Structures are given as structure tokens and as C-alpha cells.
Amino acid sequence: MGRSAVFVDRDGTIIEDAGHIGDPDQVRLLPGAAEALRCFSRSGYLVVLISNQSGIARGLFDEDALQRVHARLEELLEREDFRLDGTYYCPFLAGPAAKVAAFRADSDLRKPKPGMLLQAADELGIEFTRSWMIGDAARDIEAGSLAGCQTILVGGGGSDMTIGSLPTHTVQNLLEAVDVICPEARHEAPMKDDQPSGRVESETGHAPADNTEVVALLGEIRDQLDRANRRERQHDFSILRLFGALLQMFAIVAAVWGAMFLADDQDVQALSRLMLACFFQLASVSAFAIDKFR
């Protein structure tokens, strides 16, 4: 069974709609948006951003600028103790309004088509029948409906709503969408604003050392121990290799000695020397094996 998700539009849904945003300074979270996204996440939903970005095709900004905008959005959300599970955008636009030829196309990714939702579902293992699409426009609702999601329209949605794209629910803001999808999440105790994630106060009122500092210190101690252990093992290995080499020499000498007796038809003496050569050779191989696998 696939995972459940809440797909959310960007402009007018979680940030203020300032038109085609190519400047990170224009990114402003809507009131209650971060809290709503945290509620979805606490209830077990993946939260995935789905956004048309035709400003790229129109030549208003490039993809690098969009990445900076999204980095600013992620920064603001992380300050509110939330992180998106995925971000998908469509830079394409059909028709003469698309000034950049590389992005002039009728793409299946562009809402109201469901391409971005299909891509996210494939990459993140999402089941649409257990998921929601939330947006402030008819294209968001239609994309969600075509994918098989339940849909929530934020605000009035303008005058472009059609019979085929009526939402499952209509709300005024993202927090009201929480009341539809997971109302119990709003009653869970949130983390205190003055107590950052990953850091707690002890009973004496003093904060313990940062977890990252402790982990780094333990890692350094482990590395030093590993280096010391390797040096000691290398020393042992060198002795074993030397011993193995000496045994190898003895095996060669004993074999040559045995061959000489064999040439003189002294079979008994030759056999004893050759057996000694085998013994030295076996001992040499054993020494090298211990050196390698110890």
C-alpha cells in the first residue's frame, strides 16, 4: 500500500501571491501556513509542493533564481520546525507568451494536467486515493481530481471554476484544511517556540551540550582509537610477513637440497628433505594468511 500525501500549491496557498516570484525577498509565508503543514506531517502525510512556474518560460527569471526562491521558502519553513518532503515545479508554457524557446511547450507537467503529481507519486510511493491536493485555483483542483486525489480549494478560487473541477471541500485558509483532513492534529501539543528541536532543558535549568558537538567528539575519539589500532596491527603484520618470508626461504632451500639427493638416487634422504620443504611452505602460507585476515 502506498503512502498518503498532501500536495500543496505554492502561491496563494502557503505564501503570498506576488505574481511571478523570482526574488527570494518576495517570499512571505501566509499566516498559519507553517502550522498547518506541521499538522499534516504529524498526522503521517507526506507534504509535497506542486507549483507552475511559467515565469521561467516567460523569461522573467531563470531556474537558478527559482532555486534561490525555493531555498528561501525552505529556510522560512525550517524556522517553523517543518521541512517539505518534495518540491516539484513546471517551467513550461505553451503559446507566444513563452519567450524562452527551450521552455515553450504544452507540457503534461503543467497544471491543470496531473503530471507533477504523477511524477511525485512514482518517486515517493504515494497512493492517490489516500491523498489530497490543496490549492487556490481551479487548475489545482482539476490536477488533483485527474490524479485521483480528494481536493480542497483555499479561498474562492476566482471565476474560473467549472463543473468538472469542483473541489471536495472549500476552506478559507490552510489551517481550515487541517480541520478537514486531520482535525486531531491541531489539538496535539506543539513544541515550545523557545525550545529548539534537538535541545532540551535539564531539571536544573541548564541546557546540556549540543547533540552535534557530542557526536563530533565521540567520532573524533573513535577515529583516534582506530588509527592507534591500525598502527598496532600494522606492526604485528610486519613481523608475520617477515616470519613468513623466512619460512619461504627455508622451504626453497629444503626443496633444492631434496632435489640434489634425488639426483644422486638417494631416495630416502631426498624424501625427508622434500617433506621438510613442504612443512616450511605450509608454515609460510599460514603466516601470510594470518597476516592478511587478522
Q: Determine the angle formed by the axes of helices 33-42 and 63-79, rounding to 10 degrees.
A: 80
**DSSP 3-state of 108:** coil
Active site residue 9: yes
Active-site residue, from 9, 136, 140, 291: 9
Active site residue 11: yes
**DSSP assignments along 6-53, one per residue:** EEE-SBTTTB---SS---GGG--BPTTHHHHHHHHHHTT-EEEEEEE-
Residues facing 150 on adjacent strands? 132
Does residue 24 have a cis bond before it (omega within 30 degrees)? no
Which among 111, 163, 106 is positioned nearest to 136, based on CA atoms? 111
Active-site residue, from 11, 136, 140, 291: 11
Cα distances (angstroms) measured from residue 276 to each of 61, 160, 231, 253, 256: 83, 97, 35, 10, 11
- Which residues are catalytic, by number? 9, 11
